[in-house]
């Protein structure tokens, strides 16, 4: 690419215009709505000139470019893109571009800072779904006799326009992940840092800036996501000069990375999504994930997990009875959870000793696995390979394999420590054990758990920070295991939803969305996990009538209707269910199987209803021929009867028949027959359904009904 070129990348309604003139790092002139074709270099140059601000009093005397990796040396006084030093020197980089090449929807730029002896490679892409993604590689070109470059962090950014005046991101905790929070985007820095060594139950997930009052279906929004499963940070920053950026990257602990001569560091991918409303922003992530080569292609099987049925009390008779009942209701996968390995009668002991407990399972797991498979059901197993109980043979034999600072152990969490997979011996042991288990029992599924944060996580005996190396080792472990067993599926579970990011999703097939399967909590958890993930990647199970984690009691229709909009499963002791319960569950499972192609291939839509007690969400087929919606009464409403509810996402020029969908058509708390359209359905244009809507029925709180729209 010759000097002076501007680059216009387009995909799926998104434009990204990059200024690569001069020797400075690339600047984004526009990220957002497609600007159309026909923008030649003359037009792009005019756009660039129109973007140049005046210099203001008491600022530097030149225009300050805001590059994708902002530099202090260029006059940027916000958060710098690269921080580090060589024994205190070279703290401020000044990269000069040496080459830039645009191919297809991608731009690759290399730059050098001769004084700091650093080379930078930037990769910027626009995916087929309209996501921007970028990453950087920093290399030391210093002579061997120079001090290493201690890298503190690399931040990659994207600008947002002045009209983005509100911020939305997530917080949360165990059993209440992805709780939304929003506030004004004022001058200053809104920084989210995660130092948990895993993505975290309180992760920002997608850090969004948007127009005031934006919703799921309205207002322009821009968001970033860091595809990394260890420590990370994201920020939204607005300066007094009017510049506003979103950015993110890995959070490196003190001294964690020092680049010697010829050594390099590559950042995680940082993704950016633009849309008109949060649904369009989410759709770009969903489209990207569904377009991956390794995205699950087979129908997502109905999964029965035995955790809340038996906990640690493993008994072959009880488990085979559960398997029989699972087959009766239509389950397709059976997962044996925690408690199968040596010494594991509770959560105080055994982690790390990945051998079947001969006292509980004298013939190994073969009798159970044979029985499950005889029913036509897959067999899967729970593991937690990155953890170790101090009360285990492994910890007693290899205390040096525990992540620690060198002179002390971290505080325990759930009676466990973290196994240092950066240690070659620990890595080899875990790989051998998992490979052996998958091979011996012909496992098709692993529920891979990770039940504690990484605190004081250093390599023993040096005590050097070890989170970065641990994360990379986990990725290598997953990659190697799947290379040996290409048909193995893996679930990312981490105290429930504590490791949900696009880094782990490159290597796994779904996430366990939360340890809480209370349907009220799950409605919100799934709603906002859906900003990043499509339904087929979110484990969503039907629990017992009374929730194990909250004590709330819910009707089966509410529990099953909530699980329907994910990867459906069961987490319920079916031996305590009634025949009537199982008959109803059979209906819901049959509906899930019938709707799988729609639910796991269509566009997720969520309504912006003014009543916070009434939520609408659904999935619209790719060709918009049909859709399924849930109307969810989350709480009592200030008004009764409810008002009109719109059905988003339909073809405005088509006509649809709208009717309740069994078994989610059963009303509780209303007076059947009093809502004129309910029993017979109604036929209306898509435009009317999206703008005028139809009347919702009266329901008791914590109930839902299903609505189907079919093009006629």
Tell me: the pLDDT tens digits for 37-63?
Answer: 989 999 999 999 999 999 999 999 998
Determine the pLDDT at residue 654: 98
Unique residue bearing structure tokens 């990770």? 450
Predicted confidence band of residue 463 (pLDDT cuts 50, 70, 90):
confident
154 contacts 123 by C-beta, under 8 angstroms? no
Determine the pLDDT at residue 1: 42
| Rounded-to-integer distance, Cα 471 and Cα 251, Å | 12
DSSP state of 698: P
Tell me: the pLDDT tens digits for 239-257?
Answer: 999 999 999 999 999 999 9
DSSP secondary structure, 158-173, as one string: EE--TT--EEEEEEEE
Determine the pLDDT at residue 694: 97
Residues acting as catalytic residues? 449, 515
Tell me: the pLDDT tens digits for 304-316?
Answer: 999 999 999 999 9
Predicted confidence band of residue 672 (pLDDT cuts 50, 70, 90):
low
| pLDDT (mean) for 515-532 | 98
Query: Is a pLDDT exceeding 90 seen at residue 669?
Result: no
Tell me: the pLDDT tens digits for 149-193?
Answer: 999 999 999 999 999 999 999 999 999 999 999 999 999 999 999
| pLDDT (mean) for 408-434 | 97
Determine the pLDDT at residue 671: 66
| Bridge partners, 119 (sequence order) | 112, 139
For CA atoms 316, 386, 355, 438, give the dihedral sign. Answer: positive
| Rounded-to-integer distance, Cα 300 and Cα 302, Å | 7
Predicted confidence band of residue 112 (pLDDT cuts 50, 70, 90):
very high
Query: Is a pLDDT exceeding 70 seen at residue 203?
Result: yes
Determine the pLDDT at residue 461: 82
* Distance, first Cα to last Cα, the chain: 52
SS3 (DSSP) at 533: coil
| Rounded-to-integer distance, Cα 382 and Cα 512, Å | 12
For CA atoms 504, 509, 514, 520, give the dihedral sign. Answer: positive
Determine the pLDDT at residue 592: 98
Structural domain 6-51+63-290, CATH architecture: Distorted Sandwich (2.70)
Count CB neighbours of 641 within 10 A. 13
Query: Is a pLDDT exceeding 60 seen at residue 234?
Result: yes
| Same fold flag, 303-598 and 604-711 | no
326 contacts 297 by C-beta, under 8 angstroms? no
| Bridge partners, 138 (sequence order) | 120, 265
68 contacts 109 by C-beta, under 8 angstroms? no
DSSP secondary structure, 622-646, as one string: TTSSEEEEEEEE-S--SSSS--EE-
Query: Is a pLDDT exceeding 70 seen at residue 645?
Result: yes
Q: How many residues does the chain have?
A: 712
Predicted confidence band of residue 2 (pLDDT cuts 50, 70, 90):
very low
Determine the pLDDT at residue 94: 98
Tell me: the pLDDT tens digits for 253-271?
Answer: 999 999 999 999 999 999 9
Token digits of residue 574: 């079916």
Query: Is a pLDDT exceeding 90 seen at residue 453?
Result: yes
| pLDDT (mean) for 350-371 | 98
| Rounded-to-integer distance, Cα 569 and Cα 445, Å | 14
Name the percent of the chain lying above pLDDT 70: 99
Determine the pLDDT at residue 108: 98
- Give me the helices (H) in 485-629, please: 519-529, 556-563, 579-599
For 32, phi and psi rounded to 5 degrees?
165, -140
Tell me: the pLDDT tens digits for 550-599?
Answer: 999 999 999 999 999 999 999 999 999 999 999 999 999 999 999 999 99
| Rounded-to-integer distance, Cα 227 and Cα 352, Å | 28
Tell me: the pLDDT tens digits for 584-598?
Answer: 999 999 999 999 999
Nearest Cα to Cα of residue 320 among 370, 378, 381: 370
Token digits of residue 134: 């970028």
CATH 1.10.630.10 for domain 303-598, yes or no, is no
Token digits of residue 340: 């199968």
Break the chain into its structural domains and give their ranges. 6-51+63-290, 303-598, 604-711
Determine the pLDDT at residue 473: 98
Query: Is a pLDDT exceeding 80 seen at residue 218?
Result: yes
As a whole number, the mean pLDDT across the chain is 96
Superfamily of domain 604-711: Golgi alpha-mannosidase II (2.60.40.1180)
Dihedral angle over CA of 302, 308, 312, 315, nearest 10: -60
């Amino acid at each position: 690419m010759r000097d002076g070129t501007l680059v216009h990348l387009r995909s799926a309604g998104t434009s990204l215009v990059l200024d690569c003139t001069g020797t400075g790092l690339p600047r984004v002139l526009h990220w957002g709505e497609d600007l159309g074709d026909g923008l030649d270099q003359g037009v792009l140059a005019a756009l660039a000139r129109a973007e140049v601000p005046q210099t203001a009093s008491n600022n530097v005397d030149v225009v300050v470019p805001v590059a994708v990796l902002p530099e202090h040396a260029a006059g940027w006084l916000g958060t710098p893109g690269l921080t580090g030093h060589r024994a205190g020197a070279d703290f401020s980089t000044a990269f000069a571009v040496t080459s830039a090449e645009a191919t297809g929807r991608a731009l690759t730029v290399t730059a050098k800072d001769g004084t700091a002896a650093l080379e930078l490679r930037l990769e910027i892409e626009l995916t087929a779904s309209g996501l921007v993604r970028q990453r950087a590689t920093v290399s030391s070109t210093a002579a061997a006799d120079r001090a290493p470059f201690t890298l503190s962090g690399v931040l990659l950014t994207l600008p947002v326009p002045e009209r983005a005046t509100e911020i939305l991101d997530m917080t949360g905790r165990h059993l209440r992940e992805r709780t939304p929070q929003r506030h004004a985007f004022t001058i200053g820095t809104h920084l989210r840092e995660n130092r948990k060594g895993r993505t975290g139950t309180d992760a920002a997930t997608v850090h969004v800036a948007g127009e005031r009052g934006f919703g799921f279906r309205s207002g322009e929004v821009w968001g970033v996501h860091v595809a990394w499963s260890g420590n990370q940070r994201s920020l939204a920053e607005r300066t007094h000069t009017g510049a506003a950026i979103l950015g993110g990257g890995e959070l490196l602990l003190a001294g964690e990375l020092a680049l010697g001569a010829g050594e390099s560091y590559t950042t995680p991918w940082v993704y950016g999504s633009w849309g008109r409303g949060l649904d369009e922003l989410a759709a770009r992530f969903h489209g990207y994930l569904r377009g991956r080569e390794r995205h699950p292609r087979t129908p997502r099987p109905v999964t029965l997990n035995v955790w809340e049925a038996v906990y640690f009390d493993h008994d072959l008779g009880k488990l085979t009875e559960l398997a029989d009942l699972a087959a009766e209701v239509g389950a397709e996968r059976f997962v044996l959870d925690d408690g199968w390995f040596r010494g594991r009668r509770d959560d105080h002991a055994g982690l790390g000793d990945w051998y079947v407990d001969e006292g509980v399972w004298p013939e190994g797991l073969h009798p159970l696995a044979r029985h499950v498979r005889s029913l036509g059901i897959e067999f899967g197993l729970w593991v937690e390979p990155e953890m170790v109980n101090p009360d285990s043979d492994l910890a007693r034999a290899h205390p040096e394999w525990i992540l620690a600072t060198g002179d002390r152990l971290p505080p325990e969490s759930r009676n466990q420590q973290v196994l240092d997979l950066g240690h070659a011996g620990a890595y080899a042991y875990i790989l051998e054990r998992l490979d052996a288990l998958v091979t011996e029992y012909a496992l098709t599924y692993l529920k891979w758990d990770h039940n504690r944060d990484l605190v004081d996580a250093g390599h023993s005996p040096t005590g050097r920070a070890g989170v970065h190396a641990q994360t990379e080792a986990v990725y290598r472990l997953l990659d190697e295991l799947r290379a040996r067993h290409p048909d193995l599926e893996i679930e990312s579970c981490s105290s429930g939803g504590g490791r949900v990011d696009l880094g782990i999703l490159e290597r796994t097939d779904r996430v366990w969305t939360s340890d809480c399967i209370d349907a009220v909590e799950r409605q919100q958890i799934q709603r906002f996990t859906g900003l990043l993930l499509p339904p087929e990647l979110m484990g969503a199970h039907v629990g017992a009538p009374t929730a194990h984690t909250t004590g709330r009691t819910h009707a089966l229709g509410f529990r099953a209707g909530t699980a329907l909009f994910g990867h459906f499963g069961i987490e319920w002791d079916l031996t305590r269910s009634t025949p009537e319960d199982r008959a109803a569950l059979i209906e819901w499972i049959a509906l899930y199987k019938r709707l799988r192609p729609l639910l796991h291939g269509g566009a997720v839509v969520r309504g912006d209803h003014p009543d916070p007690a009434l939520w609408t969400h659904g999935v619209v087929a790719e060709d918009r021929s049909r859709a399924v919606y849930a109307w969810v009464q989350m709480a009592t409403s200030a008004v009764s009867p409810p008002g009109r509810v719109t059905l988003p996402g339909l073809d405005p020029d088509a006509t649809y028949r709208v009717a309740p969908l069994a078994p989610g058509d059963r009303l509780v708390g209303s007076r059947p027959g009093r809502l004129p359209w309910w029993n017979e359905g109604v036929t209306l244009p898509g435009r009317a359904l999206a703008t005028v809507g139809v009347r919702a029925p009266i329901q008791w709180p914590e109930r839902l009904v299903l609505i189907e729209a079919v093009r006629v």
